Amino acid sequence: MQCLDDLFKWLRTEGGQVAVYDATNSTKDRRDEIRKRCGENGVEVIYVETLCTDQEQIAFNVRETKLFSPDYKNMSAEEAIQDFKKRIAQYEKAYETLEDDQLSYLKLINVGPERKIIINRPTVSIMARLASYAMNLHIQRRVIYLTRHGESEANRTGKIGLDTDLSADGVLYSAALATFLGKHLSRDADVKVWTSTMRRTIQTASRLSWDRVAWKALDEIDAGRCDGMSYEEIEQRMPEEFSMRKADKLTYRYPRGESYQDVMIRLEPILLEMERVTQPLVIVAHQAILRVLYGYLKDIPPTEVPNIEIPLHCVIELVPKTYGVEEQRHPLMIEPKLGSSPYS
Ligand code: F6P
C-alpha cells in the first residue's frame, strides 16, 4: 500500500501518465481495495492477469527466468525450482481469478500460438494498445543485431539527412557486415533483415544472404528545413533553432521535420513487430532510429535517448532476457572521423 501511495504521488506530481503496479493481487478483496484507493485518487484501473496452464511452459519459465531472479541469488538451481513449485502451490490455495464483468481487465492465457486473450470492458482507451502489445510478446530466446548503414556520402561531407549513396568506406563496411553475420548466422536460417527505404541502408544490407524488408518507418529522423545542412551551417544560419535543439533534444522538432518524440511514436509499430519476431533479427538503420530502438530494448529514460552512442561501422548484438539485455558491440572497421553532434 505504501508502494501504491508512491505511485499516486508519481502520477499526480511527477508527470507520470501510466503506472504498472506489479504485485500479487491475487484475491478479490485485495483488488477491491486497490480499486477503491485508485478511485479516491482519480486513477482509472485496468487489471492484467496472466495465466499459464501448460506444465512444460511453466517448467521452462522457471528454469529460464525465475532461477535468475534476485530472489534466488544464493540458491542452487534444484533448490530454487523446488522452492518455486512450493510458491506456486501456496498461491493456488488463495488465488481468485478475475471474473467480475464490471471490471476493465485483460486476461492473457498461455503464450505461443495457442495463446488466448480476453478483453473485458475496454472502456479505457489504452487497453486496445496494451492487448496488441501483449499479443506480440514471447519468451523465446533470440538475438537482435542493430547496425547503422555504412558511411554515406552525406556523412563524409558532414551533412545531416539526405538520401545519398554509400562512400567507398561505406561499401567496405557492407562487405564486412556480410562476412560478420555470415559467421554468426547460418545461411539457411530464417533470418529477418530490416532496412529503411533509404539508399544507404539498402546498399549496406545488399550483400546479406537473407530476404530483406524495407520499412518507411525506419527512415532517419526528418530534419525538415535543415535536411542537407551541416551542424555548423545550422548554428550560423538558424541560431535560434540550434539553441532550441541544444536545450531540449528530445522534444525539439525541426521546422517542417520531426523531433525524437515524433520518431518514438512513428516507431511504435516497429517495436511491436520486433517483440513478435522469434527468429534472429538484423536491423540496418540510422543513428536517431537506432537510438530509439536501443533505448527501448535497454530501458533507457527518454531524455537520455537522443545522446546514446551508436557509432558507424559497429554491430550491436543484443539478447533480451527476463532481467535485462545482454549486449556485445562489434566494431568491424575503424569508425570514420566525422564531426560529432554538437547537440549532445
Ligand atoms: O549525421 C547522421 C545522422 O544520421 C543525420 O542524418 C541525422 O540528422 C543525425 O544523424 C541524427 O543525430 P543527432 O540527433 O545527434 O543530430
- Nearest residue by C-alpha to atom 12 in ligand 1: 288
| pLDDT value at 339 more than 70 | no
Q: Which of 68-72, 105-109, 274-278, 302-306 has the lowest mean pLDDT?
A: 68-72
Query: Is residue 330 annotated as a catalytic residue, yes or no?
Result: no
Choice among 151, 219, 220, 227 that is catalytic:
220
Span 137-152, average pLDDT: 93
Q: What is the mean pLDDT of the chain?
A: 93
Instruction: State mean pLDDT over 302-306.
Output: 97
Sheet-wide strand order for 116-120? 47-51, 105-109, 116-120
Confidence class for position 111, pLDDT limits 50, 70, 90: confident
Q: What are phi and psi of 230, to 5 degrees?
A: -90, 165
- Amino acid at position 102, single letter: Q
pLDDT at res. 126: 87
**Residue 291 pLDDT:** 98
Find the range with the poorest average confidence among 62-76, 208-222, 233-247, 323-337. Answer: 62-76
What are the contacts of 2-9 at 24+ separation with CB within 8 A? 4/34, 4/37, 8/37, 8/41, 8/43
Nearest C-alpha neighbor of 45 from the set 4, 80, 88, 96: 4
- Work out the average pLDDT over 178-183: 97
61-74: per-residue pLDDT in tens? 788 777 778 888 88
The one-letter code for the residue type at 219 is: D
What pLDDT does residue 69 have?
81
Of 135-139, 162-166, 189-193, 233-237, give the lowest mean pLDDT range.
135-139
Does residue 140 carry a pLDDT above 90? no
The model's confidence at residue 12, banded by pLDDT at 50, 70 and 90, is very high
Q: How far apart are CA 105 and CA 318, in angstroms?
A: 33
Is 52 an active-site residue? yes
What's the CA gap between 179 and 145, in Å, rounded? 14
Query: How do strand 192-195 and strand 212-214 relate by DSSP bridges?
Result: parallel
What is the spatial distance between Cα 115 and Cα 92, in angstroms, rounded to a whole number?
21
Residue 18 neighbours by CB distance under 10 Å: 10
| Cβ 317 vs Cβ 210: under 8 Å | no
* Spatial contact of 100 and 31, defined as CB atoms under 8 Å apart: no
Size of the chain, expressed as the number of residues it contains: 344
User: What is the per-residue pLDDT for 54?
Assistant: 85
Overall average pLDDT of the 302-329 stretch: 94
Report the distance separating Cα 156 and Cα 171, nearest Å.
13
Residue 266, CA distances (Å) to 55, 110, 258, 299 in order: 39, 30, 10, 18
| Higher-scoring residue by pLDDT: 255, 132 | 255
- As for ligand 1, residues whose beta carbon falls within 6 Å of it are 155, 160-161, 220-221, 223, 286-288, 306, 341, 343
Report the alpha-carbon distance of residue 314 to residue 334 in Å, rounded.
9
User: Whose alpha carbon is nearest atom 10 of ligand 1?
Assistant: 287
State what percent of residues in the chain have pLDDT above 90: 73
Write out the three cell numbers for 165.
549513396
Do 124 and 44 contact (CB within 8 A), yes or no? yes
Helix (H) or strand (E) run with residue 243 in it: helix 239-247
Most ligand 1 atoms within 8 A of CB, residue of 227, 287, 313 to mutate: 287
Please report how many Cα atoms fall inside a 13 Å half-sphere around the Cα of residue 29, on the Cβ side: 2
Q: 147 exposed, middle or buried (CB, 10 Å; 0-12, 13-18, 19+)? A: buried
- Do the beta carbons of residue 292 and residue 154 sit within 8 Å? no
- CB half-sphere exposure, 118, CA atoms < 13 A: 17
| Per-residue confidence (pLDDT) for residue 45, from 0 to 100 | 94
**Residues contacting residue 78 through CB under 8 Å, at least 6 positions apart:** none
Ligand 1, atom 1: nearest CA belongs to which residue? 160
Predicted local distance difference test score (pLDDT) of residue 231: 97
pLDDT at 343 over 90: no
Cell numbers standing for residue 129:
494498445
Q: What's the mean pLDDT in 230-250?
A: 98
Q: Which residue has the higher pLDDT, 303 or 100?
A: 303
The CA–CA distances, whole Å, from 172 to 166, 191, 316 equal 9, 22, 18
Is residue 151 part of the annotated active site? The answer reads no
Residue 172: predicted pLDDT: 96
